[in-house]
Amino acid sequence: MRRLAVYCGSATPADPRYIELARDVGRELAERGIGVVYGGGRLGLMGAVASGALDAGGEVIGVIPHALAGSEVANHDCTELCTVTGMHERKQRFTDLSDGFVTIPGGVGTMDELWEAVSWAQLGYHAKPVGLLNAFGFYDHLLAFNRHMAEVGFVRPVHQGIIVAAETLPDLLDRMAAYRPHTPIFEMQASEL
């Protein structure tokens, strides 16, 4: 994996562990020679991921919509800062520039990015690993809900392994490297759906 899109929050939670985690993720990716593609902001976990990677000499590509770039939240310290028209183009650019996705703690925007990456993998728009860093048990309930969707029958058995989850980044990266793409919906017969 040459580059990974990192999905995370632009907020700064009161608990300092989250900012520290984000900085560590950026640093560790850079130390492994993996470039970071992220939302292009300088605030919250986003800014911490970027600074961690940049401080370790890594490549950081920010992708930010025009509306946010002009509001002084853009991180002009990035190796490259791409300004796009909106969120749809932003997420497409994440997919085009990266070899996989790592989601760390975040809010609604982070969930939007995660679920779109999962949905696109399920359909067949990409065959890249979708990683979920479940640090501090932050995503325990989300993982339980994903299992519930599968148990009820809303996630096909062949697609139940799309989300690759782990509690530490080294473990997550190992699991992502071992990921084998599944059969996407676009390649399935109606009888398999």
* pLDDT tens-place string over residues 97-120: 999 999 999 999 999 999 999 999
Beta strands in 58-110 (DSSP E): 60-65, 80-84, 101-103
State the pLDDT at residue 184: 86
Regions of the chain with pLDDT less than 70: 72
pLDDT of amino acid 192 = 75
- The CATH number of domain 3-192, selected from 3.40.50.1220, 3.40.50.450, 3.40.50.300, 3.40.50.720: 3.40.50.450
pLDDT value for 32 = 98
Give the pair of three-digit tokens for residue 65. Answer: 């919509």
What is the structure's pLDDT at 185?
84
Phi then psi dihedrals of residue 77, to 5 deg: -85, -5
154 burial level (CB within 10 Å; 0-12, 13-18, 19+): exposed
- Phi, then psi, of 39 in degrees rounded to 5: -70, 0
- Coil/strand/helix, residue 179: coil
Q: What is the pLDDT, as a whole number, of residue 193?
A: 73
pTM for the full model? Answer: 0.94
Residue 187: predicted pLDDT: 85
Structure confidence at residue 191 (pLDDT): 77
pLDDT reported for residue 24: 98
Residue 130 CB neighbours (<10 A)? 27
Q: How far is CA 6 from the centre of its chain?
A: 4
